[in-house]
């Protein structure tokens, strides 16, 4: 009677090992991709937020007088800068849309006094995974006598 030798690996042992190794490598690759993808998304959103905050600060620093003549139909401020249009930013891949409207142009505020308060909105758009993403901030400008 012959007893089977226990030396070496069988084909089934190797196949199971390869399958388990393939599963773990696939899981690690998927996790790595998702972590890198989430990191890139956060990085782009942070950059867009930073650009939007800079634009809001520029609008506040310019003061109400720069935007006093702006209404729904105008597309330039007092300095001749384009508004209500999508323009590229200084950072590649990001576009800004600045809209300034008189507070009376907002539907609920028809009975208010015109040209006292303006709402400035900055929208920064960028592409991520083939989809347009955006960050939007608003501020209020008021006339100071």
Residue whose structure tokens are 């009975």? 111
Task: Let me know if residue 4 belongs to a domain.
Answer: no
Q: What is the pLDDT of residue 126?
A: 94
* Tokens read off for 74: 């105008």
pLDDT tens-digit profile of 1-26? 566 666 666 788 889 999 999 999 99
The count of structural domains within the chain is 1
Residue whose structure tokens are 């399958």? 19
Give the angle 132-54-87 at the CA atoms, nearest 5°. Answer: 45
Task: Let me know if residue 2 belongs to a domain.
Answer: no
Q: What is the pLDDT of residue 89?
A: 81
The Cα–Cα gap between 100 and 118 comes to: 6
The Cα–Cα gap between 8 and 28 comes to: 30
Task: Let me know if residue 38 belongs to a domain.
Answer: yes
Q: What is the pLDDT of residue 1?
A: 56
Task: Let me know if residue 112 belongs to a domain.
Answer: yes
Higher pLDDT, 75 or 65: 65
Task: Let me know if residue 102 belongs to a domain.
Answer: yes
Task: Let me know if residue 80 belongs to a domain.
Answer: yes
Beta bridge partners of 133: 126
pLDDT tens-digit profile of 124-135? 999 999 999 999
For the chain, the C-alpha Rg in angstroms (whole number) is: 29
Provide the whole-model pTM.
Answer: 0.74
Domain extent for 101: 11-142
pLDDT tens-digit profile of 13-69? 889 999 999 999 999 999 999 999 999 999 999 999 999 999 999 888 888 888 777
Q: Residue 73 pLDDT more than 70?
A: no
Task: Let me know if residue 26 belongs to a domain.
Answer: yes
Beta bridge partners of 120: 100, 139
Task: Let me know if residue 33 belongs to a domain.
Answer: yes
């Amino acid at each position: 009677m012959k007893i089977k030798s226990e030396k070496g690996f069988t084909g089934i042992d190797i196949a199971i090992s390869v399958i388990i190794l393939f599963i773990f490598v696939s899981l690690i690759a998927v996790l790595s991709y998702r972590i890198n993808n989430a990191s890139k998304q956060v990085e782009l959103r942070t950059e867009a937020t930073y650009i939007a905050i800079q634009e809001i600060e520029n609008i506040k620093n310019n003061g109400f007088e720069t935007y006093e003549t702006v209404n729904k139909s105008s597309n330039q401020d007092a300095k001749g800068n384009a508004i209500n249009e999508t323009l590229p930013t200084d950072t590649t891949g990001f576009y800004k849309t600045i809209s300034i409207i008189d507070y009376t142009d907002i539907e609920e505020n028809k009975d208010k006094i015109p040209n006292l308060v303006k709402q400035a909105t900055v929208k920064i758009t960028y592409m991520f995974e083939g989809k347009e993403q955006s960050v939007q901030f608003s501020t209020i400008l008021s006339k100071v006598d």
